[in-house]
Amino acid sequence: MGERLLGEVAPGESAADPLRAVDRLRRHPALAELPEEEAAALVHALLTQVRLRSRAKAKFGPLADQMFFTPAGLEQATRAPVAAYRARRIADRVASATAPVADLCCGIGADLLALARAGLSVEGVDQDPLTVAVAEANIAAAGLAVRAQVRLGDATQVRSAEYAAVFCDPARRSHRGRVFDPRAYSPAWDTVVALAQAAPAGCVKAAPGLPHESIPDGTAAEWISVDREVKETTLWFGALAEGAPSRQATLVRTKPGSGEVEIITVVDHRLGTPPLSRPLRYLYEPDNAVVRSHLVAEAAAAVNGSLLDPAIAYLTSDSLVRTPLCQVYEVREVMPFSLKRLRAALRERNVGTVTIKKRGSAVDVERLRRDLKLRGSETAVVVLTRFGSRPYCLLCAEVAAGEDGGSP
């Protein structure tokens, strides 16, 4: 009954007028014979699912309307295009195996569903009964029960060697909030690594800020961004690491209008450190996945660029080069950082709206935005950084697709 009622609630209705949505559901004939407390609990659960489905569209697109979520499960779930990309990579190596793939700490089943859609037989394991029930509902809704199943269990007790491959996405949240130290993951980092290493092929999803020193030797490491925001680190073990670059950045981009997904990869070519330069006509901001994977030299080579500072991932060049690896800006003015001087420069250009970016700067961005007190009609990009020990500010304009760049 709950699933049928869920299909009758429009996401826009619950967002625009939640009280009206509650009242309409409570008057539904299907709830009339239920005790009042049970009916109220069901209404609350239905509206919670509607709100979660609305939030989930950013990760799952149209698939969100057929899925079920928990708040924590949605928070940690892999975005659909990333899960599909990873599943294809796993399927390319283990599709001929007779043993299933294990999805440990499977959560609501985002990666499990992607693995099954890639043609693999998958067994999910999670220790939370509610999460297992939600994953089961998602398997059924996707029509993948033939290929996928999920069970309640302790992932640390799984015999990895019995599976064709093991994928593990350890919990990175506690009752106190997000966990940044991998040793505090659940299961703990050493346990997760051991599970992946014991399998013929292993894959582990971790936070994008995973320290490089936490990456085991012999592992292929990959940092993945979605529409320029780095989302996760993926580590590949065993057969999945064979022939793979030791470091890779993968950029997932959604094409405007069509919604099609493009995958761009950058691998380690062991280039030397780029040269240094004063700011030139263009400033390039590498994708954060490129930065996290220590592949800024590869981005510099792509734009014929130099570093502004050896410790900061901003590149500069007199050449305008279109590349998915970097966002490009035209440099209009360079000055030592001073609130008074920056405010005067922006007011002179009639700027009222600024995008503030920073790397290597200690300036509080929100406080700076308030202190600028701008009222103009133009826009600008303000880049806060440093050259050596001196803080600097670059006043820039974003170079849109198709532009050749104007005169500074």
User: Is the separation of the CB atoms in 331 and 396 below 8 Å?
Assistant: yes
**313-366 per-position pLDDT tens digit:** 999 999 999 999 999 999 999 999 999 999 999 999 999 999 999 999 999 999
| Tokens at 119, concatenated | 């043609």
Q: What integer is the mean pLDDT of 270-283?
A: 95
Whether 222 and 85 map to the same domain: the answer is: yes
Whether 100 and 229 map to the same domain: the answer is: yes
User: Is the separation of the CB atoms in 356 and 282 below 8 Å?
Assistant: no
CA–CA dist 367, 344 (Å, integer): 17
CA–CA dist 197, 239 (Å, integer): 10
Exposed/middle/buried for residue 107 (C-beta within 10 Å: 0-12, 13-18, 19+): buried
Exposed/middle/buried for residue 188 (C-beta within 10 Å: 0-12, 13-18, 19+): middle
**CATH for 202:** 3.40.50.150
Q: How many other C-beta atoms can be found within 10 angstroms of the C-beta atom of residue 89?
A: 17
The number of domains in the chain is 3
Residue 170 is part of which domain span? Answer: 74-265
**103-122 per-position pLDDT tens digit:** 999 999 999 999 999 999 99
- Model confidence at 16: pLDDT above 60: no
pLDDT-based confidence at 62, cuts 50/70/90?
Answer: confident
In a domain, 215, yes or no: yes
pTM for the full predicted model? 0.88
Whether 95 and 31 map to the same domain: the answer is: no
Whether 208 and 337 map to the same domain: the answer is: no
User: Is the separation of the CB atoms in 105 and 47 below 8 Å?
Assistant: no
Whether 261 and 308 map to the same domain: the answer is: no
Whether 128 and 182 map to the same domain: the answer is: yes
Whether 233 and 289 map to the same domain: the answer is: no
| Tokens at 399, concatenated | 């170079």
State the Cα torsion 149-150-151-155 to the nearest 10°: 120
Q: How far is CA 143 from the centre of its chain?
A: 27
